Structure 1
Amino acid sequence: MSAEAGETGENHWADLERRVAALEEAVRGWGRPGGPGHAGAGPVGEQEPSGPQAGAAGAAPSSASVPEPEVLWALKGLHERVEDPGAVMLLGHVLLPSGTRAEWQEGALSAELLEAEWQDCAEALASLGHPVRLSILRRILVTPATAQELVGEEGVGTSGQVYHHLRQLTAAGWLRSVGGGRYEVPVARVIPLLAIILGARR
């Protein structure tokens, strides 16, 4: 790649970072009383978007599941800050049943993603392609667990099979071993993992 092309890419990325920072600042105001995303009946976080209407442009909002007055407020904010060919954002904040809080925001230009080496993501994605591993991840998101505790769960298999799944998930970065032989999902992977599950449900 030429020096000129490299400088152009850096400029685009710097511009995206500035715009993402502006979007992040705007997002902070959605749940404030009187703010664009304030639902009136309580914090926006208590009314989670669900189903196709949460992400499909033009879909009718459901008053029981999405914050008013706008359903696609995050998408609208991204449109206002990033020109075509556009960008993709990954963001979320959750408080897991275990007490772990995860907050994450990440963005990339669509052109950058289309030019990337997707095969580099194969290991991380392939490790999720097993029903038992997904069950293990969901269980550990609720409460970190040891291998023996997982063996006691219905349908996860023998101890040897459980250890095999744990090794695969750990090697791919979806799990890490913590004190007492327990496994947990790294905080930096919580939102990306939930986003993958959300996307796969469409």
Structure 2
Amino acid sequence: MLVFWDQRLAFLATPKTGSTAIAAALESLATVSVQRPPVLKHTTVHRYRRFVGPYLQAASKEDFTVVALMREPRDWLGSWYRYRQREDTDPERSTRGISFDEFVRAWCSDTQPEFAAVGSQGKFLRPRQGQGLDRLFRYEDIDGFVAFLEDRLGCEIILPRLNVSPVGMTGLSAETEALLREVAVEDYALYATLS
């Protein structure tokens, strides 16, 4: 999470949407940068609106624009799957020796095994009640997001390539694809609203 005080802007770091690269490029410009632990770095919309936002509003007497990125749901799961293929991943969270199809089916199950317990973008980005995000950008249109930031922050931004998931096979059977669209219906619906 990054907070830009003078610009009244807060960036929420949706997992697996380039947040590490964005933080590396913008941390020096931010008034507040929360990078560790992951539970704070990846503060959800609900937690921001309940805890952080009211504090910032009380201190500044102004509202902050809250922004985030969202990735296409299947691609987002593919990034998690490939990320957990790395050799340094905790064995219980590792997806080594597991196909992407098996990973997605496990993610879709009622009781997710540890290797598939990665949450959902819908839950991360959705407020439980009240106000949500002010702007949500497609990860696939990172250039549009960078242009927005350049305009708000008044500087050129060049994003480094950091924390990139390794290359891997992410094919799905037709049945698993249909199951994913059924289980992740909220994620797909939210993603479809983004232009």
TM-score (norm. length: structure 1):
0.23
Higher relative contact order (CA 8 A, sep 6+): 2
Bigger Rg over Cα: 1
With normalisation by structure 2, the TM-score equals: 0.24
